[in-house]
Homo-oligomer: A and B are copies of this chain.
């Protein structure tokens, strides 16, 4: 499990990349969605979340998704004339039917409901069924931070991940996020429960690189070094897929990653009576399920001193001695924040395909194309 196969993603991003200031990019994307009939509010919801991913250096969940969302609306997965409905409710919780609405709009609404309940009663949990892809998970967990609450968010997703000892991709990459406020900065864990995401396999495939053993299995459930084979199996709906965090078998804890992935499905789809990952994206229905939570720090004492206590733990870890060859131990959320600061000042970097798609979408809606995309 060495460092030999590390590929700097900068190597990819420096080829033919376009840089655009985030304000211009945001306006263009909102205008495109409005022109495509998404309406002002939904367009803003979607672009806010997608752009946040680009700012943080997570382009797989950024505005590159805009075209896919429009396609999914056209295919009927994303429904624009529906608002979420509460199907069951207690003072501390709710089950929400997203009614096929855009994942970002449904999820902001549901997370706000969790926060509102926690504001009244210290705790709020909301399970959601029948929604769509919602973008980066941390966007929602972080919404709780400004209220001095712990935020929780998770989602199931298109099936790409094989359980330990299995060969069928029945689980999603099923990410979850927990955000905890500190006195100087928060701790924001946001992780796919798989060892890697599909996007990373696509990067290796484009570069014609092999993937290390422990990332994915072929159609027999055996470790493979070929990202192209895994992606082809996805496209042809053959067995095989990405491994859970911890890799294949149990030697490196793959059963733990499998457990985390199944946990996300049980909580999001189980507690909402929705579709688990294997049943999402079938017969014109996305059916994605989420789970959101907010827990007020006042559950456990005075928030200001608790945030100092939390900060002291984070500080203790990151100030411990570094490994040979390493200069820094990061806390979770730090890399994303550093990237965000950089992007806000220097602009957002887009790959050529994303630029082409945005230009085409702008052209078909007779929108003015920012000069930065035409250079």
Chain A interface (Cβ < 8 Å from any Cβ of B): 1-3, 5-6, 88, 90, 92-93, 95, 121-123, 125, 127, 162-168, 170-171, 178, 180, 187, 189, 191, 195-196, 212-215, 217, 220-223, 239, 245-249, 251-253, 255-257, 259-260, 262-263, 265-267, 269-273, 276, 278, 295, 297-301, 305-306, 309-310, 312-314, 316-318, 320-324, 326, 328-332
Contacts and interface: CB of A to CB of B under 8 A. Distances in A.
A168 B323 CA distance: 8
A189 B320 contact: no
A90 B298 contact: yes
Nearest to A171: B317
A118 to B, nearest CB: 10
A220 to B, nearest CB: 4
A165 B92 contact: no
A262 B178 CA distance: 11
A290 B318 CA distance: 22
Given A247-B252, A320-B168, A323-B220, A93 B214 contact: no
B252 A271 contact: no
Find the residue from A3, A90, A125, A305 having the highest chain B CB count within 10 A.
A90
B195 A300 contact: no
B166 A320 contact: yes
